[in-house]
Amino acid sequence: MKRLLILTTLLAATSSAPAQENEVEFKSFQLSDTVYMLKGAGGNVGISAGDDGLYIIDDQVKPVTAQLLDAIKEISDAPIRFVINTHYHYDHTGGNETLGGKGTVIIAHDNIRSRMNSEQVNIFLGSTTPAYPAPALPVLTFNDQISLHLNGESATAYYVANGHTDGDSIIHFPVSNVIHMGDMHFNGLYPFIDLDAGGSIQGMIAAAELGLSLANESTHIIPGHGPLATVEDLENYRAFLAKATANVQQLIDQGLDLQQAIAAEPTKEWDESLGKAWITPAQFVTFIYNSLKGIHHYTPPPADAATAK
196: domain CATH number? 3.60.15.10
For residues 260 and 210, what is the distance between their CA atoms, to the nearest angstrom?
33
Tell me whether residue 265 is in a domain.
no
Name the band, by pLDDT with cuts 50, 70 and 90, for residue 142. Answer: very high
Tell me whether residue 258 is in a domain.
no
pLDDT above 80 for 18: no
Tell me whether residue 53 is in a domain.
yes
Tell me whether residue 302 is in a domain.
no
Res 246: pLDDT: 98
Q: What would the pLDDT profile of 286-306 be if each residue is shown by its tens digit?
A: 999 999 999 999 998 766 544
Tell me whether residue 235 is in a domain.
yes
Res 305: pLDDT: 44
pTM: 0.92
Tell me whether residue 268 is in a domain.
no
Res 4: pLDDT: 42
What's the total number of domains in the chain? 1
Q: What would the pLDDT profile of 158-191 be if each residue is shown by its tens digit?
A: 999 999 999 999 999 999 999 999 999 999 999 9
Res 303: pLDDT: 60
Tell me whether residue 62 is in a domain.
yes
Domain that holds residue 179: 2-247
Stretch 17-34: mean pLDDT? 79
Stretch 7-34: mean pLDDT? 65
Beta strands in the chain (DSSP E): 27-30, 35-39, 45-50, 53-57, 80-84, 105-109, 120-122, 127-129, 140-142, 145-150, 153-159, 169-173, 178-186, 220-225
β pairing state of 53-57 and 105-109: unpaired
196 and 123 in contact (C-beta within 8 Å)? Answer: yes
Q: What would the pLDDT profile of 36-90 be if each residue is shown by its tens digit?
A: 999 999 999 999 999 999 999 999 999 999 999 999 999 999 999 999 999 999 9
pLDDT above 90 for 309: no
Res 276: pLDDT: 87
Tell me whether residue 6 is in a domain.
yes
